[in-house]
């Protein structure tokens, strides 16, 4: 009896040792795969990130399954489990319905690419704004302006209205709105605004070659004759949304300075913020 117990305990020790070794090999294989993947694919696209995470998950599932097969008890459980495969399939299907939905929606996002890694997006219904950082089988990672991460399930984000600031054309525009008094020189104010905006180092001239012949570099419009005075509007274009806010701030400060030098007075309602 004691001898039988000894051998049984030794069997369990060997099984546990094999389990540990195979689990370690799975961990090592996954890390080697990730290193090789990074060196092979230097581009960081949403498609490649999703494929990498899918393959990593497959390696882990296969590795853990092989590791558990080291235990003889696991084989007995597996046989009993698959003997009732019909009921088991229904049970697993119901339990994993949401997970499978996230995986399939992640696949659709990867294929149709409504955004890429690094894109600035706004989820309209959820009112979430940030930068796409990663996509896994379950969720998409969005980095906010406060440097926090929001994990949005793929099934949710695939149903969202997505405002993508980088889609097709990454250039961004924001309105520079100024209200001056009726006593001020409106044409001169328009001239100053056009000069200040057009001379900013981050300003992008969006005109084509034909438009450059007959269209001003920075059109400035009097969009209304309001209660407080003429309402002037111009657009500040930059290469991306990332530097647009700071560029608009610089331009507003310079306009204020130049208006003071030219004797142009800003009305009681001073600056209006363009929609971001």
Tell me the three-class secondary structure of the chain, residue by residue: CHHHHHHHHHHHHHHHHHHHHHHHHHHHHHHHHHHHHHHHCCCCCHHHHHHHHHHHHHHHHHHHHHHHCCCHHHHHHHHHHHHCHHHHHHHHHHHCHHHHHHHHHHHHHHHHCCCCCCCEEEECCCCEEEEEEEECCCEEEEECCCCCEEEEEHHHHCCCCEEECCCCCCCEEEEEEEEECCCCCHHHHHHHHHHHHHHCCCCCCCCCCCHHHHCCCCCCEEEEECCCCEEEEEEEEECCHHHHHHHHHHHHHHHHHHHHHHCCCEEEEEEEECCC
Q: Is residue 107 part of a domain?
A: no
* Better pLDDT: 260 or 89: 260
Tell me the whole-structure pTM to 2 decimals.
0.59
Which CATH number covers residue 180? 3.30.70.100
Looking at the structure, do residues 157 and 177 belong to the same domain, yes or no? Answer: no
Return the pLDDT at 3.
46
Looking at the structure, do residues 149 and 238 belong to the same domain, yes or no? Answer: no
Looking at the structure, do residues 17 and 57 belong to the same domain, yes or no? Answer: yes
* Better pLDDT: 204 or 10: 204
Task: For residue range 210-252, list pLDDT tens digits in order.
Answer: 888 889 999 999 999 988 899 999 999 999 888 899 999 999 9
Task: For residue range 19-73, list pLDDT tens digits in order.
Answer: 777 777 777 887 787 777 777 776 667 767 777 777 777 877 777 777 666 666 5
Backbone angles phi, psi at 170, to 5 degrees: -75, -10
Q: Which of 60-64, 171-175, 202-206, 232-236 is the least confident region?
A: 60-64
Looking at the structure, do residues 147 and 186 belong to the same domain, yes or no? Answer: no
Query: What's the CA angle centered on 96, arms 90 and 102, to 5 degrees?
Result: 140
Q: Is residue 220 part of a domain?
A: yes
Looking at the structure, do residues 7 and 79 belong to the same domain, yes or no? Answer: yes
Looking at the structure, do residues 158 and 176 belong to the same domain, yes or no? Answer: no
**pLDDT grade for 143, boundaries at 50, 70 and 90:** very high
Return the pLDDT at 57.
77
Cβ atoms of 181 and 171 within 8 Å: the answer is no
Q: Is residue 72 part of a domain?
A: yes
Give me the mean pLDDT over the 83-102 stretch. 59
Range of the domain at 122: 115-164
Q: Is residue 239 part of a domain?
A: yes
Looking at the structure, do residues 189 and 268 belong to the same domain, yes or no? Answer: yes
Which CATH number covers residue 141? 2.30.30.60
Looking at the structure, do residues 147 and 234 belong to the same domain, yes or no? Answer: no
Total count of domains within the chain = 3
Residue 62 neighbours by CB distance under 10 Å: 12
Query: What's the CA angle centered on 248, arms 245 and 251, to 5 degrees?
Result: 155
pLDDT over threshold 80, residue 124: yes
Q: Is residue 42 part of a domain?
A: yes
Q: Which of 4-8, 11-15, 133-137, 209-213 is the least confident region?
A: 4-8
């Amino acid at each position: 009896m004691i001898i039988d117990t000894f051998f049984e305990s030794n069997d369990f020790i060997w099984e546990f040792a094999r389990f540990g070794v195979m689990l370690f090999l799975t961990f090592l294989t996954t890390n080697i795969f990730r290193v090789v993947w990074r060196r092979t694919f230097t581009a960081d696209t949403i498609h490649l990130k999703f494929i990498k995470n899918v393959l990593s998950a497959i390696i882990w599932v296969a590795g853990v399954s092989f590791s558990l097969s080291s235990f003889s008890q696991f084989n007995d459980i597996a046989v009993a489990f698959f003997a009732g495969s019909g009921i088991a399939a229904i049970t697993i299907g119901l339990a994993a319905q949401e997970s499978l939905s996230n995986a399939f929606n992640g696949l659709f996002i990867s294929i149709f690419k409504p955004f890429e890694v690094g894109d600035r997006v706004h989820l309209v219904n959820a009112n979430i704004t940030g930068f796409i950082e990663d996509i896994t089988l379950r969720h998409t990672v969005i980095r906010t302006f406060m440097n926090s991460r929001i994990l949005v399930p793929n099934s949710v984000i695939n149903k969202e209205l997505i405002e993508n600031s980088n889609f097709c054309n990454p250039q961004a525009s924001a309105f520079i709105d100024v209200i001056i008094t009726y006593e001020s020189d409106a044409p001169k104010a328009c001239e100053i605004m056009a000069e200040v905006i057009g001379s900013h180092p981050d300003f992008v001239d969006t005109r084509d070659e034909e438009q450059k012949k007959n269209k001003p570099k920075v059109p400035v419009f009097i969009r209304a004759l309001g209660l407080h005075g003429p309402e002037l509007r111009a657009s500040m274009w930059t290469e991306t949304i990332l530097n647009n806010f700071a560029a608009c701030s610089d331009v507003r400060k310079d306009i204020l300075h130049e208006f003071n030098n030219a004797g142009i007075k800003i009305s009681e309602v001073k600056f209006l913020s363009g929609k971001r």
